[in-house]
A = this chain, B = another copy of it.
């Protein structure tokens, strides 16, 4: 099963409503551009690669309704504005529009579906390759000493964040399938709890040993030798190797650096923004609603889904959704073409055509 698929009617697009996990597994059908934009904006789908694939299918739904170019340009603009940080969104829309602008009006809808399918298939293949390359890093630790390899991950960069496999979790799945004894510390990932709700759910379904921890705990675990490797995904990587990822990633990178723990960022090349250099200055950081901090949703003892406020009614909240980890704190990038240093030189060696 993938996270996004074409429905049997050949037009509508199916997704998993990730806001309902881990308590309910609910598939949702997207029939219009507006529904696709809503799914991205309201985070029914999230994760940079899946945002890109959903935007691509959003343009298919737009082309099905009106294949004229002005309508498609407006659709592209609408989708581009849904979320600001993940560069895969702009990348997928640009790729789709390049193809659609070169296609006759009458052929645009089928051409859009074909291109979106290619984007989805390529993402799955790239993530599988990331899994194979990243697994060698886990295997290297396992060869160095006996016992379980302990990884730490932040947010959800798994199957659910991509079309299939995941980015940061792909190497973990590959290593687990190869029989390695591993265990994953899962950062809860406040305020939206993607670690507690999505990563824990994914790893549990795949039988990968894991433990959910508060985001605050990772530094302490690293100080006490309980983390061998940190693997995270990214929403945007600059050509210098700076990494925008879920808020709090930077704090884990600092702790990894302070304790000599390797810190790797797994990304398909669609997440690399070759136009940007300095991530802290240049990557736009989404500010989300403060209610995501103030109000927490979960399952009550009686099985109902309920939301509870944890802050005083009168206290304001702020909610920056991403932060930027400078390249100097990143041990390496894991891409579909292999591992490289988080630097212009490292990226250039793997992607000479782009860098």
Contact = CB atoms under 8 A, between A and B. Distances in A.
Contact of A248 (B217, B224, B301, B323): B217
Nearest to A249: B216
Interface residue SS majority, chain A: mixed
A205 to B, nearest CB: 9
A189 interface: yes
Interface string A299-312: 11100011111111
Contact of A323 (B220, B250, B301, B324): B220
Given A197-B310, A211-B317, A315-B212, A247 B217 contact: yes
Interface residues on A, range: 35 or more
Interface stretch (A106-114, A124-132, A289-297): A289-297
Copies per complex of this chain: 2
Nearest to A248: B216
Interface in A174-194: 185-186, 188-191, 193
A216 B130 CA distance: 27
Contacts of A252: 251
A101 to B, nearest CB: 37
Interface of A: 22, 185-186, 188-191, 193, 196-197, 200-201, 203-204, 210-221, 223-224, 246-248, 250-252, 254-255, 258, 280, 285, 290, 293-301, 305-312, 314-320, 322-324
Q: What are the 8 A-B residue pairs with the smallest beta carbon separation, nearest first?
A: A216-B248, A298-B308, A220-B323, A200-B315, A254-B254, A190-B214, A22-B312, A251-B251
